[in-house]
């Protein structure tokens, strides 16, 4: 008997292969589960061909694919969330964002002036907030409206 998670993986894999097939691309899909604030299922897609078609400008096609997958899955299934990565794009983007945030922290510390980063997705903003949460002399906040919402890095000012 197939578990809910196995059913969910099968549905995700079937959908991804169908969409990728329409683009005349071949792919391999690997799954892993992570338990952070409820289970999250990661589907990593690997393609030896033109991954840029699946990623799109600034990851827009990747986000759309992820959205379609979420819409096709019943909500009562576990895990709660589904994240998709293509040829480790999300991983390299995360590393880039953490480096960008650390460089901005250096500038904010030197100038003692707030600095706004480029607009980011909710996931990307969360990465930056979490990366800088361990800096006691820095505070972060998200400002603006989607799709132009961004993280602002500020020097921490004590209210005592």
Residuewise pLDDT in 10s, the chain (160 residues): 567 788 888 989 999 999 988 888 889 999 988 765 557 888 999 998 888 989 998 888 998 998 888 888 766 555 567 889 999 998 899 999 999 999 999 999 999 999 999 999 888 999 999 999 999 999 999 999 988 999 999 998 876 6
CA 11 vs. chain centroid, Å, equals 21
- According to CATH, the superfamily of the domain at 91-155 is R3H-like domain (3.30.1370.50)
Determine the 3-state secondary structure of 57 from DSSP: helix
In this structure, the number of other CB atoms found within 10 A of the CB of residue 127 comes to 21
Residue 41 has what pLDDT? Answer: 85
Locate CATH 3.30.300.20 in the chain. Answer: 4-87
Residue 73 has what pLDDT? Answer: 77
Locate CATH 3.30.1370.50 in the chain. Answer: 91-155
| Unique residue bearing structure tokens 């707030």 | 114
Buried b (16+ CB within 10 A) or exposed e, 58-89: ebebbeebbeebeeeeeeeeebeebbbbbbeb
Determine the 3-state secondary structure of 100 from DSSP: helix
CB 88 within 8 A of CB 44: yes
Residue 105 has what pLDDT? Answer: 97
CATH code of the region 4-87: 3.30.300.20
Residue 76 has what pLDDT? Answer: 57
């Amino acid at each position: 008997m197939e578990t809910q998670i196995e059913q969910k993986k099968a549905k995700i894999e079937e959908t991804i292969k169908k969409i990728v097939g329409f683009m005349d691309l071949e792919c391999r899909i690997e799954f892993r589960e992570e338990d952070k604030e409820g289970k999250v299922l990661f589907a990593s897609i690997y393609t030896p061909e033109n991954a840029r078609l699946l990623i799109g400008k600034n990851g827009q096609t990747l986000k759309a694919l992820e959205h379609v997958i979420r819409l096709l899955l019943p909500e009562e299934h576990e895990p709660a969330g589904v994240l998709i990565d293509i040829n480790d794009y999300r991983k390299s983007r995360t590393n880039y964002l953490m480096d960008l945030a650390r460089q901005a922290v250096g500038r904010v510390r030197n100038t003692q002036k707030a600095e706004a980063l480029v607009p980011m997705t909710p996931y990307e903003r969360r990465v930056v907030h979490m990366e800088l949460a361990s800096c006691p002399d820095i505070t972060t906040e998200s400002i603006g409206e989607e799709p132009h919402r961004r993280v602002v890095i500020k020097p921490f000012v004590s209210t005592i």
